[in-house]
A = this chain, B = another copy of it.
Amino acid sequence: MSAETDQKWTDNPELLLRVGEGFRLDGVDARSIPGYGGNKKSGRRDLKACIGGLDDLQERLFAAHHDAKSGPSVLLVLQAMDTAGKGGIVRHVVGSVDPQGVELASFKTPTREELAHDFLWRIRSHVPGPGMIGVFDRSHYEDVLIGKVRSLADDEEIERRFEAINEFESELAKAGVRIIKVMLHISPDEQKDRLMERLDRPDKHWKYNPGDVDERLLWPDYMKAYQTVFERTSTESAPWYVVPADRKWYARLAVQRLLLDALKDIDPQWPAADFDIDVERERLAES
């Protein structure tokens, strides 16, 4: 993995982006590139250079644990305002590893059946099993974000949900799920540009939804709701990372690095053979 040592990171983004005591979302510049000393060109090169390492670690994780009843997994939770680039992360970061080791779950407006259950019901069935990398494109956090902003639930219920979320995530962490919660943070101006591009290009119309502008008008409320989410649910075992995302290349590079660091920390090893290698060589040779 020598390619990684040439990278232009000057500081570990894990520490810089992690939501800790006293964090203020309104203090984060969405155009900034914390910890990175390069530019777009080097950023893209570094992203590419790390694909091999990520791939290797993912395969080891899968090899070592996917058939087991318990064992480590990784869960990447992606939250953001529209157009912030969740899809690009799925595509260019997660999409660079073997799809057989990835479980992708996209949470839309709950169905009637889902609404008939507790808000975590539909989430639980998508928790990645041992050896897998799970990705949540939106998540249970919608229930305390849009839930709060759109008054879909009263304060008491929102409060109950925060407690339920912390309990749920702590339970997952104990079971071996490494949880990485990422909010891709864009500025309202950048969002306006990106939405305008969707209107300008016929091949992007399908990505545009008039409801996006309605949500956009509630921007300050959403930021306030995110701030509360961070204060209530950024824990030791399931921390939040706020990733500046006006520069797509930086956001991708930073999330790749968070994934890489989590996997390196798990340090999965190729499993030892559970059969006699010499015996098998002989059987195979004779077959």
A91 touches B100 (CB 8 A): yes
- Give CA–CA (A55, B106) in the complex, Å: 20
Q: How far, in angstroms, from A199 to B216 measured CA to CA in the complex?
A: 57
Q: Does A283 contact B (CB under 8 A)?
A: yes
| Chain B binder among A43-51, A113-121, A272-280 | A272-280
- Total identical chains: 2
The 8 Å CB contact of A210, one of B95, B199, B275, is B275
- Chain B residues near A106 (CB-CB < 8 A): 100
Binding-face segment, A8-16, A25-33, A201-209? A201-209
Restricting to A228-287, which residues have a CB under 8 Å from any CB of B? 270-273, 275, 277, 280-281, 283-285, 287
Enumerate chain B residues within 8 angstroms of A94, measured Cβ to Cβ.
99
Q: Within A162-181, which residues are at the interface with B (CB < 8 Å)?
A: none
Residue of A203, A216, A285 most packed against chain B (CB within 10 A): A203
The number of chain A residues with a CB under 8 A from chain B is 40
Secondary structure call for the A interface: helix
Interface contact B284-A199, CB-CB below 8 Å: yes
CB-nearest residue of chain B to A271 = B206
Residue A192, interface by CB 8 Å: yes
Chain A, 202-227, CB within 8 A of any chain B CB: 202-203, 205-208, 210, 213, 216-217
**Are B271 and A205 in touch, CB under 8 angstroms?**
yes
Binding site for B on A (CB under 8 A): 63-64, 87, 90-91, 94-95, 98-100, 102, 104, 106, 137, 192, 195-196, 199, 202-203, 205-208, 210, 213, 216-217, 270-273, 275, 277, 280-281, 283-285, 287
- Nearest first, the 8 A-B pairs at minimum CB distance are A63-B206, A205-B273, A203-B270, A213-B283, A95-B99, A210-B275, A206-B271, A216-B287
